[in-house]
Each structure stands twice: as structure tokens, then as C-alpha cells.
Structure 1
Amino acid sequence: MVNRRKLNPDSSPMAAFGARIRRFREDRGWSQDVLAEHLSYSSQHISAVETCRKPPTLPFARELDRAFGNADTVDSFEREWRDIRHGSLLEGFPEYVGHEGRAAEIRLFEIGIIPGLLQTPAYASALAGGDVHRGTITPEQAAERVSVLAERQAKLVRLRPPTVLVVMDESCVRRPVGGPEVMGEQLEHLVAFAALPNTMLQVAPYDIGERRPFNLPMNLLTQPDRTVLAYAESQIRGHLDRESTFVLAALSAYHQLQAESLSQAASVAMINEVRKGIL
């Protein structure tokens, strides 16, 4: 073949992904043009993923699985994509997401941005777009991030949804993201979230001062068997903890945080006040 680039699947997980695409299509006698006929992606895009010039995305992996008849198998491209992506995520987060989707109760505390499970698509896209602008992720990775967040949110919509308790630092509400329209929609969504029968939303006001027990985001998951997991995250590392001493201390601190924070009614009033100010 002319201009056939040699692939080294051992050089990186992305290279292994690309080499596997080539092997699958060549086993069927397909060129990149033929494979493109089975996908919504061009042959140029397929070539770029095969040769690691573009990272694979979740939608692309799913289309490959449909084209090759590989969906919902242990050898699926979606599974391989998740392995690649999880390899670049903060330690503990992939495991946390798995437990999150099965949790009976979810307690969240966030600083600076709206918690992911409460973000609107436009707000999440604006945050991801900021990372693209700074050059820390690619546009494809930004799209993946928003897609994965939507999947996490969808898993909470079930016959018996979990109880979701959220405390947000006041900075989450007052920090503008995406412009007035995006932020207005996001704040409206928070008010709607607070009205659900299985949720509680509180704002920890600035004047809580030194009484705020957490200086980093904190997630606490109560599993169906009533065990509790704690997940804390810094800028460079995440940590999932099952050790009872730490988990019980974190749970106690969360209860203290709730006691110091505004009531849900007062929190919703603050959110509505901020929303009126940006419209």
C-alpha cells in the first residue's frame, strides 16, 4: 500500500486503539473509505485516529462497535476507550463513578463551580471550552467530558432514584460561567433541582468563614448495603476512601457543614436573587 504508516501498538494505549481499528477493518478487507461508509466520520478522521493524530472519542468508539458488530462485548472499542480515558483521570475517580451510579444516597460539597451532577449541558460545555482555550484538552476531549457527564447524570434517573444532598459554596452560585444566558439557565436548573422530592440543596455563605469544615470538594456515597465511601479531590489527585475512621470523620464534618449553611429555602432565595441580577 502507498503511504501506509507503520503502527506500533505497544507505544501507547492510543496507538493500540488505532492498530486495532486497522486490524479489524483489514480482517474484513475494508479500506478506510469503506469503513467510513459505515460511520458518520470521514476516512481522513479514521486515518488520524489510527495513526494517533487524533484521540478516539466515545461516540467514535460506539460507531466502530456498531460497524464491527462488537457492541456490548468484552472486546468492544467503547470498553477500550474507557480504559484509555480512565488511565488519564485522577486516581480513584473511575472507581468512584461506578459506585456513584449505584448509590442510595449522594452527598456533595463543591467550591467554585456547580457540582457536575447538577450542571446543565451548556454550563458543562462552557467549562470544557475554557480548558480547550487554555490548551489543556482538545475539542474532542471536551466533547467526551460533556458526554460522560451526561451519562453520569442519566444513571441517577431510575425507578428508585438516590437521595442527593448538595452543599455548594457561595462562590459556585456567584462565579459567572458561559455568559448571562448560560448562567441564568444553570441557576434556574438549580432551583428546579431543589424542588425534587429526593434532593436537598444548600448554599454555604461566605460569612461561614472558618466554620466551613472542608477546603476541597468532598463527595460521600452511601451504598445500598449502607456502607459509606468518601471521595476527595485536589488539582492533581483524587482519593477514594473506605477506611471507617476517615469516612466517619468526613460524614460528621458534612453534617456540621449542613448545620452552618443556609436552609434550602434561603439558598433558593439567594440563587433567585443572583439570577435576577444577571438577566
Structure 2
Amino acid sequence: MNRKELDPEASPSAKFGQLLRALRDERGWTQDELATRVGCSGAHVSAVETGRRPPTRRFAASLDRAFGTGDMFERQSRAARHTALIEGFPEYVALEERAAEIRLYEVGVIPGLLQTPEYAATLEADAVRREAITSEQADERVELVVKRQKSLVRSPSPLITAVLDEGCIRRPMGAPSAMHAQLARLLEFAEQPNTVLQIAPFSMGARRPFSLPVTVLTMPDRSLVSYAESAHRGHLERESTFVLPMVAAYHQLQAEALSQAASVAMIEQLRKGTP
């Protein structure tokens, strides 16, 4: 049986997962046996153990009761939860790295897969200013942007379709030179053979089928997964009953959005206004 190697230095969640695995192995329990003891599923234990899902306080407290470790797991979980990445996002990133197709729609800001490091750093610096995250967490987020983009340089290349609300390209972010470089990055993206870039103009009005960002992944086995975020957590949906209507709405969005040629022309016009 192949087991994912854990690097406790990679993140607080990885450190928590290694400790969990070590104590579980020490007692000879399977993931399902531990799950029965703490009142969850074996899949949940696996996700926490491999760092794909941060431990909740309730889960950590249940582990302390099962292992008789006082409040050790609960204390460790605080560091694992104090991370730049919201719950559910690490699991999404793992799927994104394997996806055959990525469809995304973004509102307000350029999506991470298309951000320049300067744009990403500017975005996170403001979060630090608002004390929403620490400077260390800001660095973690910027590093993840770069890592996610590198993971898409593979063969065969995934098909990436990006529809951006017009506000994404009109909202200034940092110095004019940083925005100039970001718009140039979008134009480079549009030139790739495995990409489609469209702008959903303000004039679409009520015809815009989504009011919040959404991503739909098509996996190598052609299964579909959607991902959406609230303020505090991300939600993955694998049930086709819920994902297929989102795909249909996405096709409607593309039909109403500007063509790639018109979208590129709009971005080029904006870029001329930035030094």
C-alpha cells in the first residue's frame, strides 16, 4: 500500500498530519478504526493526515480523547488552522494540479492562475494592512500563486477557460507599472494554444449567470468538480446533479461575454493608458 510521504516542515497542517499518523500507527489502528473512535469518516482522517484539510478544533479535541493525549492535538491544531489558506482550498489545489480542463469565472480581481507575482503581492499586502492576515501568510499566498501556475506547465496541457468580469481589468492594483505588467500577462495568456480568455462586460447586466467567483474542473476521467468560496471556507462539489447546471450556466456566460478577440482589444486599450 502506497502512502503519501509527509514533510512536517512543509506546513503546520503537515506537522499535525505526521503526528496523527505516528500515533495511529503506534496503536495499530487503521484510518477507518480511528474514524469510528472520533465520530467521522475514514476519508476525513485521511485528508487531515495528509495535510489536504486543516484539523478543526472539534476534530482535534476528539483525537485527544481517543489517544488520551490531554490537549496536545488541540494545541497543535491552532497552528494548523492559523494559515493563509482557507479550509477546502488545499484539497482544491490538489485537484487543479491534475485537471484536464479548468473553467473559471472571477469578479473584482485577476484570478490567481493569471496573476503576476507583483499583482499578487500587492493584493496580499493590503490584506496585511487590514490585519486580515500576517506578513508570513501573505508570503505563503504569493508563493502558492507561483506554484499553482508552474503546476499547469505539463503535458498534456490542461485547457483553461477564463471569463473575467470587466471589473477585474479596470480595478487598479498597485503602481501603474504593476497593472501594466498584469495586463500584459493576460495578453500572453490569451495567446497560448490551450487557453481561452473572455471579458464579461458591465453591459451584460442581469444576463450574467454568476454573481460570485466559480471554478469547474474536468478531471482526466471526465468527472466534474466545482469549487466556490465563502468568506471563511471553500466548498468542493462532486455530485453531478449540482455541477452540471453550473456547466450549463458557464456556457451561457461565455455566449454573452465578449469574444476573445474583442476581450484582447479591450485589454490592449486599457494597457495603452498605463505606463
Instruction: Determine if contact 2:11/2:80 at 8 Å carries over to the other structure.
Output: no
The number of residues matched between the two structures is 208
**Residue deviations 1:187-234 (CA, integer Å, cap 9, x gap):** 000001000000000000000000000000000000000001001112
Q: 2:241 is matched with which residue?
A: 245
Instruction: Determine if contact 2:12/2:80 at 8 Å carries over to the other structure.
Output: no
Match of 1:272 among 264, 268, 275: 268
**Root-mean-square deviation over aligned CA pairs:** 1.7
Residues 146 and 190 (structure 1), Cα distance of their counterparts in 2 relative to 1, 3 Å cut: same
Q: 1:26 is matched with which residue?
A: none
Residues 75 and 158 (structure 1), Cα distance of their counterparts in 2 relative to 1, 3 Å cut: closer
Match of 1:235 among 200, 216, 231: 231
Residues 91 and 78 (structure 1), Cα distance of their counterparts in 2 relative to 1, 3 Å cut: closer
Q: 1:1-279 alignment to 2 at 5 Å?
A: 73-78=5-10, 80-82=12-14, 83=51, 87=81, 88=83, 89-279=85-275
**Tell me, which stretches of 5 or more residues in structure 1 are unaligned?**
1-71
Query: Structure 1-normalised TM-score?
Result: 0.71
Percent identity for Structure 1 against Structure 2: 56
Residues 77 and 162 (structure 1), Cα distance of their counterparts in 2 relative to 1, 3 Å cut: same
Q: CA deviation at 1:111?
A: 0.1
Structure-1 separation of matches of 2:158 and 2:269: 29
Instruction: Determine if contact 1:216/1:234 at 8 Å carries over to the other structure.
Output: no
Structure-1 separation of matches of 2:131 and 2:238: 35
Structure-1 separation of matches of 2:156 and 2:271: 31
Q: CA deviation at 1:137?
A: 1.2
Instruction: Determine if contact 2:97/2:151 at 8 Å carries over to the other structure.
Output: yes
Larger Rg: 1
Q: 1:36 is matched with which residue?
A: none
Aligned residue identity for 2:129: H
> Which has the larger displacement, 144-153 or 164-173?
144-153
Structure-2 separation of matches of 1:268 and 1:75: 43
Instruction: Determine if contact 2:88/2:236 at 8 Å carries over to the other structure.
Output: yes
Structure-2 separation of matches of 1:132 and 1:223: 35
Residues 73 and 183 (structure 1), Cα distance of their counterparts in 2 relative to 1, 3 Å cut: same
Query: Structure 2-normalised TM-score?
Result: 0.72
Instruction: Determine if contact 1:86/1:94 at 8 Å carries over to the other structure.
Output: no
Q: CA deviation at 1:124?
A: 0.3
